[in-house]
Amino acid sequence: METFIPILMMAGVVFGAFSLTYALNWILAPRQNLKAPVKREAFECGNVSPDPGERRRYIGFYLLAIDFVLFDVEIAFFYPWAAAFGQLERQTLVFVAVFLMILIAGFIYAWKSGALELE
């Protein structure tokens, strides 16, 4: 509790203060013709946007996100090992080395199959 009460308090202060700026903005700023259709257009350098809403997305970003999930989770597994490095037995180094090899093999596969490239 000594740890999490301060963090909750911090969250309260930070979210409260930033919400207050929204409220101040609401009070101070002018509001004219907010419903005017021209004002509500999607920005397209002054043109009418041909497809403002749903459209096809580039798949490469999805692939990068998958790569991220894989590698970030695997990196996270190293943290307990690193934090306890001094107290571990000699053979644990072998286990970690094997795990790292698997990670690197996956990395090489992702690299070779072009998953780390765009276009």
Partner 1 sequence: MDAVFLISTLVKILLVFSGVLGLVVLLTWQERKQSALMQDRIGANRAAILGFRLFGLIHSAADGLKMMSKETFMPAHARKAVYMIAPLLAASFAMMAFAVIPFGDSIELFGLVIPLRIAGMSVGILYVFAMMSLSVYGVVLAGWASNNKFAFLGGMRACSQMIAYEITMGATLLGLVLIFQTLDLNAMVQAQGTLIGGVLPRWGIFLQPLGFLLFLTAGIAETKRVPFDLPEGESEIIGYYVEYSGMRFGLFMMTDFIETVLVAALVTTLFLGGWQVPFLASDGFHFPGGAEVKLSGIAVSLLQMAAFALKVYVLCWLLLLIRWTLPRFRFDQLLQLGWKYLLPASLANIVLTAAALYLLK
Helix, strand and coil in the chain, % to nearest 5: 60, 0, 40
Separation CA 96–CA 75 (nearest Å): 11
Q: Interface mask (CB under 8 A) for partner 1, residues 66-95, using x and -? A: -xx--xx--xx-xx--xxxxx------x--
Please, what is the end-to-end C-alpha distance for the chain in angstroms? Answer: 49
Does position 39 bind partner 1 by CB under 8 A? yes
Q: How far is the CB of 98 from partner 1 (least distance, A)?
A: 13
Q: Interface mask (CB under 8 A) for partner 1, residues 49-68, using x and -? A: x-xxx-x-xx--x--xx-xx
Does position 48 bind partner 1 by CB under 8 A? no
